[in-house]
Amino acid sequence: MSSEHTARFTLDPAFSVSPVDERIFGSFVEHLGRCVYEGVYEPGHESADEAGLRTDVLELVRELGVTAIRYPGGNFVSGYKWEDSVGPRDERPRRLDLAWKSTESNRFGLSEFVDFVRKVGGTPMMAVNLGTRGVGEAIELQEYANHQGGTALSDLRAAHGDKDPFDIRLWCLGNELDGPWQTGHKTADEYGRLAAETARAMRQIDPDVELVACGSSNQAMPTFAAWESTVLEHTYDLVDHISLHAYYYPRDGDVDSFIASAVDTESFIENVVATADHVGAKLKSDKRINLSFDEWNVWYQDGSGPKLSDEPPSEDWAEAPRLLEDNYTVTDAVVVGSLLIALLRHADRVKVACQAQLVNVIAPIATVPGGPAWRQTIFHPFAQASRHGRGTVLDVRPQSPTHTTAKYGEVDLLHATAVRDEETGAVTVFAVNRGRESELPLEVALNNLGLTELVEHSVLADADPDARNTADDPDRVAPHAGTGATLADGVLKATLEPLSWNVFRLA
Ligand code: AHR
How does 291-316 read in b/e, with b if 16+ C-beta sit within 10 Å? bbbbbbbbbbeeeebeebeeeeeeee
Q: What is the mean pLDDT of residues 260-273?
A: 98
Range of the domain at 351: 21-388
Separation of alpha carbons 359 and 39, rounded Å: 6
**Given 143, 176, 266, 325, which residue is catalytic?**
176
- Using the 3D structure, point to which of 357, 388, 419 is the last residue of a domain: 388
Using H for helix, E for strand and C for coil, what is the string for 21-50?
A: CHHHHEEECCCCCCCCECCCECCCCCCECC
CATH number of the domain bearing residue 466:
2.60.40.1180
Query: Do 427 and 375 share a structural domain?
Result: no
For residue 419, the SS3 value is strand
CATH number of the domain bearing residue 256:
3.20.20.80
Query: Do 482 and 347 share a structural domain?
Result: no
Out of 28, 71, 295, give the residue to mutate to test ligand 1, the one with the largest number of ligand atoms within 8 Å of its CB: 295
Alpha carbon nearest to ligand 1 atom 7, residue: 74
- Using the 3D structure, point to which of 372, 388, 404 is the last residue of a domain: 388
pLDDT of amino acid 353 = 99
Alpha carbon nearest to ligand 1 atom 4, residue: 74
* C-alpha dist (Å) from residue 376 to 24, 327, 473: 20, 7, 11
**Angle value at C-alpha 119, between 117 and 123, nearest 5 degrees:** 30
Q: Which of 70, 88, 63, 83 is nearest to 32 (CA)?
A: 70
Query: Do 9 and 149 share a structural domain?
Result: no
Who's near 281: CB < 8 A, 6+ residues apart? none
Query: Do 373 and 416 share a structural domain?
Result: no
Query: Do 192 and 48 share a structural domain?
Result: yes
Query: Do 453 and 376 share a structural domain?
Result: no
Query: Do 435 and 335 share a structural domain?
Result: no
pLDDT of amino acid 313 = 87
Residues touching ligand 1 (Cβ under 6 Å) are: 30, 32, 73-75, 175-176, 217, 295, 356-357
pTM given for the model:
0.98
Query: Do 219 and 290 share a structural domain?
Result: yes
Query: Do 81 and 51 share a structural domain?
Result: yes
pLDDT of amino acid 2 = 37
Burial class (CB in 10 A: 0-12, 13-18, 19+), 201: middle
- pLDDT at position 414 over 70: yes
Query: Do 221 and 170 share a structural domain?
Result: yes
Q: pLDDT category, 1, cuts 50, 70, 90?
A: very low
Please give the number of the atom of ligand 1 that sits closest to the Cα of 32: 6
pLDDT in tens, 72-128: 999 999 999 999 999 999 999 999 999 999 999 999 999 999 999 999 999 999 999
With beta carbons less than 8 A apart as the criterion, state whether 77 and 129 touch: yes
- Using the 3D structure, point to which of 388, 419, 446 is the last residue of a domain: 388
Alpha carbon nearest to ligand 1 atom 2, residue: 74
Query: Do 412 and 376 share a structural domain?
Result: no
Please confirm, yes or no, whether 295 is among the known catalytic residues.
Answer: yes
Query: Do 405 and 276 share a structural domain?
Result: no
Q: What percent of the chain has pLDDT over 70?
A: 99
Tell me the residue type at 109: G
pLDDT in tens, 206-252: 999 999 999 999 999 999 999 999 999 999 999 999 999 999 999 99
Split into its structural domains, the chain has a count of 2
Q: What is the mean pLDDT of residues 194-207?
A: 98
Separation of alpha carbons 479 and 87, rounded Å: 44
Number of residues written out for the chain: 507
